[in-house]
Amino acid sequence: MTTPRLGHVWFRLGQLAALALMALLGLFDLYVGLIRGRESSNSMLTLLGVAMAVATAIVWLPAHPQGSRRLPRAALVLAAASVVLTLVVRMADRPAGSAASWGFAETCGLLGVLFVVARRGAARWALAGVLGCAAALVVLPMRSTTGSGYVIAGLFLALCAAATSAGGTYLRLLDSGRQRAMAGVRAEQRAEFARDLHDFIAHHVTGIVVQAQGARFVAEQDPQRVILALEQIERAGAETMTSMRRMVGILRDPQAAPDAPLAPLAGVADLTPLLARFNSAPTPVARLHVDGTLEDIPVEVSTSGYRVIMEALTNVRQHASGARWVDVSLRRTPDWLLVRVTDDGAAQRVPGQRGHHGYGLVGLTERVRAVGGRFSAGPGIDGGWVVDAALPLRQGVAG
């Protein structure tokens, strides 16, 4: 909250400073113009020049949204008015030896308009606005000089216009790059939530199906167990719907759920309730083995380990025919968190052709690699299926 307010304060201070500078330059132009006006009778033209400076300040000092259409259109109107005023001053009858001054305030104002148009103007109109302001700047010296003096002053103002437009364009490109980077981060985050959606929903729905199948078989022998199974199904269904609403809401529109967590919902410290839900069905039985403490593990490592185990348990339910047990092992070393999930079911769990694995294993591989870890899944030496993940606890240890 502090940073945006501080930025707003600095912007307001910059506006006040620019306004004060424009006022001083306008007073100076007015003073010089009126002195010359006693000799050249061009006091009205001097006042019009100061009015032009005020008009430019009205255009470029306020804050403008990116892609503004009004800004370059207003710049074109100002540029046209400035050119017309230059032509009027040039064609005005003046006594020999007299000269009208071109205002410093109007020059700075046109440069400010050019800069703001190059940075904030709508793409279709920005180029026209920049060229119009540049043309108005280049012809400004015609109000007071001709010949070589005009050429020198015109070239100088052309260079100033080029530098100003280049600066505005550079900042515009920086803003555009920042917006693209933020859009990429948001897209990546939504893709991460899509993988989370698969993991959570597949796990919960698989558990619901298994418990419903078990309840059907025990309905006649033990009705009380059916009631317990229904309660577990209801709880799992509620969790599933909550997760789905949260995830899908963020996938549709990240701004629609600003208070939703931007990190996965569980870590390795939450494995006990996960295995308890898995063991609500008779077989297979999941056993947890922990070697080392699970405290102070980086959140991305903890959540990635949880996802590996959740996906492995879901795959056991779906594909491990005849499995009787599942061993979930976590071992913490100084540099790594090692996760292994093994079972005694059938080894052939995925289609034989390479590249046809389910999105779950693909998502796990991407997730583990994203944190600098290593992941593998395949048949075990003694049969069954083995899922291994090595997650680095410190940066620089991945290899």
Structure confidence by residue, pLDDT tens digits, 106-131: 888 888 899 999 998 888 889 999 99
DSSP one-letter string for 98-116? --PPPPHHHHHHHHHHHHH
**CA dist., res. 273 & res. 281, Å (int):** 14
DSSP-derived secondary structure for 294-352: -TT--HHHHHHHHHHHHHHHHHHHHH-TT--EEEEEEEE-SSEEEEEEEESS-S--S-S
Q: What does DSSP say about strands 285-291 and 325-332: parallel, antiparallel, or unpaired? A: parallel
What tens digit of pLDDT does each residue of 378-390 get?
Answer: 888 878 889 999 9
Phi, psi for residue 350 in degrees, rounded to 5: -135, 160
**pLDDT tens digits, 281-322:** 777 888 999 998 888 788 778 888 888 898 888 888 888 777
Mean pLDDT of the chain: 75
- Phi, psi (5° rounding) for residue 256? -75, -20
Mean pLDDT of 250-259: 51
Neighbours of 303 (CB within 10 A): 21
For the chain, give the number of residues. Answer: 399
β 374-379/336-343 pair status = unpaired
Per-residue pLDDT tens over the stretch 223-249: 777 777 777 777 777 766 765 665 566
Cα gap 248→96, rounded to integer Å: 79
Average pLDDT over residues 341-367: 63
Per-residue pLDDT tens over the stretch 209-225: 777 777 777 766 777 77
Instruction: Provide the pLDDT for residue 1.
Output: 38
Check if the beta carbon of residue 90 is closer than 8 Å to that of residue 142.
yes
Give yes or no for a cis peptide into 284 (omega within 30° of 0): yes
The number of CA neighbours under 13 Å toward the Cβ of 183 is 6
At residue 354, the pLDDT reads 39
User: Which pLDDT value is given to residue 388?
Assistant: 93
* Residues 45 and 92: beta-carbon distance below 8 Å: yes
Residue 258: its pLDDT value, please? 44
User: How far apart are the C-alpha atoms of 376 and 370, rounded to whole Å?
Assistant: 14
User: Averaged over 165-188, what is the pLDDT?
Assistant: 81
Confidence band of 2 (pLDDT split at 50, 70, 90):
very low
Please tell me the distance from the alpha carbon of residue 191 to that of residue 297, in angstroms, as a whole number: 24
pLDDT in tens, 146-155: 677 778 888 9
CA nearest neighbour of 90 among 34, 137, 125, 42 = 42
Q: How far is residue 82's CA from residue 132's CA, in Å, rounded to a whole number?
A: 10
Nearest-5° angle of CA 60, CA 65, CA 71? 45
Cα–Cα distance between 342 and 323 in angstroms, integer? 10
- pLDDT recorded at residue 352: 40
Task: Determine the longest span between alpha carbons in the chain, in angstroms.
Answer: 119
Per-residue pLDDT at 28 exceeds 60: yes
Q: Which amino acid is at 109?
A: G
What's the pLDDT band for 266 if we cut at 50, 70, 90? Answer: confident
pLDDT surpassing 60 at residue 11: no
pLDDT score for 67: 85
* Percentage of the residues of the chain whose pLDDT score is greater than 70: 66
Mean pLDDT, range 179-194, rounded to an integer: 66
- Give the pLDDT band (50/70/90) at residue 360: low
Question: Contact, 136 vs 82, CB < 8 A?
Answer: yes
